[in-house]
Structure 1
Amino acid sequence: MSTWWRTAVAGLRKTTEAARSYHTIQAIPREITGNRVSVKDRAQGRIPAVVFAQPNPSADGDGGGGPVRSVSRKHLLTTERKQIQSILKSIELPYFCSTTFPLQIRAGSGSSALLESGNVLPIKVHRDTETGKLLNLVFVWADEGTTLKVDVPVVFKGEDVCPGLKKGGMLNKIRASLKYKCPSEHIPQKIEVDISNLDIGDRVFMRDVKVHPSLELLSKNDLVPVCKIVAAKLDSTE
């Protein structure tokens, strides 16, 4: 493993572990569904949620490739709105949906009886289009040994020293995220693309992006560019 990757993994692991320890999502079961029930839950300061087992992309039908979840691992839940809002203040979208969290399912509000626990990955956050109010959440179980499909946000670094930008060029951000098949223990919260050495006309392709060796890019063409430094548009008279 290269020095670059050891340093990156250490930093990512420290950040992820801190997020996990601080943000253990608390939830309670809900047995009744429907719009009226959901409205009542939200009025009581709770957010309807569901957590299920995503089919394991690495499973080959013989029990390999991580644990196979039973139907009992699918749960209809409600979570505390204040807690989810607090998490979203420190881990903003879209990074929230590329971060795993511990989940504890209690027997009821304020109960110490633990029914189920494990790591989960948020995959959908539904909001009211007008007010932005949280409506419901969808999670997938992300216990160690499972492999998940994750849409990982792309961030760009090195803009302050990029030769092409210093010459007056512009950064064309072609892809905002990249989709990978990831072991749950190596899901990156974000992918950093270094543009510090790019000149005008240079590109960074999907295959050039550095990620953990266990990640598999879910694209048929890894020559699709992630970004490009383009020349500033000339005046129409020129």
Structure 2
Amino acid sequence: MAQWWRSATSHLRTAASNHHNLPSPLSTFRTAPYHTIQAIPRDFTGSRVSARDRLQGRIPAVVFFQNLLEKDPASRSASKKHLLTVEKKQIKAILDSPEAPFFCTTRFPLQIRAGSGSKHLLESGNVFPIKIHRDEESGKILNLVFVWAEDGMDLKVDVPVVFKGEDVSPGIQKGGILNRIRPSLKYLGPSEHIPSKIEVDVSNLDIEDKISMHDIELHSSLKLLSKNENIPICKIVPTSLRNQDPLVSN
């Protein structure tokens, strides 16, 4: 266990020392106390152990460096997965908050303590939740997956697209429909510059107007992972009835 924590600490300190001159991170979460996720380490895995943790009001979780997911073994970090449990009440409070739809693209502080209620801090850092596993029937959270997200760490993240201005869009007012072609866009870049969502303004779009990937402007450090940036994100399309209306074609 001691070696495990030294490995995690070494990686985080290295990341921090390499990027201490970066500008302040772009905050994508509010500073309410429950947004610092509290966790404790777990030594064992298995369905029985996980079931016991859930009965005690805790959710099994894992945190690791995202490059462990890479197919190329040479690009993987040498550190192992870090097994944790987090407080069910706290996670529920976060998911019930206004940020809930963007939980998996919001960077959270994480504190790993020696035990439940312990003041002994073993490690701390920033993380992205990347997956919530739920029971298919009950919807209850079974476990959570996090990746470390310190300043300067490049992550691949699917950022959800949110559309605004539909109520005043000329094309929609004429009877057109907003065709949401891409619900999210994948970016690679420093974790502190990854937004929790991408807002696409459609308030000026008319029938047949569209917004493409290359129209989106984010931080210059973020790279859009798409072979064709001309692919549309959305388009105002006429309904079959409005297609026959001469006002639409003019």
Structure 1 and Structure 2 fold alike (TM over 0.5): yes
| Unpaired runs of at least 5, structure 2 | 1-23, 70-75, 246-250
Task: Identify which of 134, 145, 149 aligns with 2:152.
Answer: 145
Within-5 A mapping of 1:96-107: 96-107=103-114
Within-5 A mapping of 1:1-238: 13=26, 16-19=28-31, 22-55=34-67, 71=79, 74-234=81-241
Provide TM-score, normalisation by structure 2: 0.80
1:44, distance to aligned residue in structure 2 (A): 0.7
CA deviation vs aligned residue, 1:53-99 (integer Å, no higher than 9, x gap): 11299xxxxxxxxxx96516x31000000000000011454400000
1:21, distance to aligned residue in structure 2 (A): 5.7
- 2:29–2:106: 8 Å Cα contact kept in structure 1? no
1:221, distance to aligned residue in structure 2 (A): 0.9
Q: Percent identity at matched positions?
A: 65
Give the match's secondary structure for 1:36: helix
User: Cα RMSD between the aligned structures?
Assistant: 2.6
- Displaced runs of 4 or more, over 3 A: 19-22, 91-94, 235-238
- The residue identity in structure 2 corresponding to 1:160 is D
- State the alpha-carbon separation in 2 of the partners of residues 128 and 113 from structure 1: 33
- The residue identity in structure 1 corresponding to 2:35 is H
Compared CA separation, residues 91 and 149, structure 1 to 2 (3 A): farther
| Stretch of structure 1 that moved more, 17-26 or 170-179 | 17-26
- State the alpha-carbon separation in 2 of the partners of residues 236 and 149 from structure 1: 40
The aligned residue for residue 63 of structure 1 is none
1:207, distance to aligned residue in structure 2 (A): 0.7
- State the alpha-carbon separation in 2 of the partners of residues 20 and 220 from structure 1: 39
- 1:181–1:217: 8 Å Cα contact kept in structure 2? yes
1:18, distance to aligned residue in structure 2 (A): 2.1
Compared CA separation, residues 227 and 211, structure 1 to 2 (3 A): same
CA deviation vs aligned residue, 1:141-165 (integer Å, no higher than 9, x gap): 0011101001101001111211101
- State the alpha-carbon separation in 2 of the partners of residues 236 and 162 from structure 1: 17
- State the alpha-carbon separation in 1 of the partners of residues 62 and 95 from structure 2: 18
- Count residues with an aligned counterpart: 217
1:213, distance to aligned residue in structure 2 (A): 1.4
1:209, distance to aligned residue in structure 2 (A): 1.4
Give the match's secondary structure for 2:94: helix
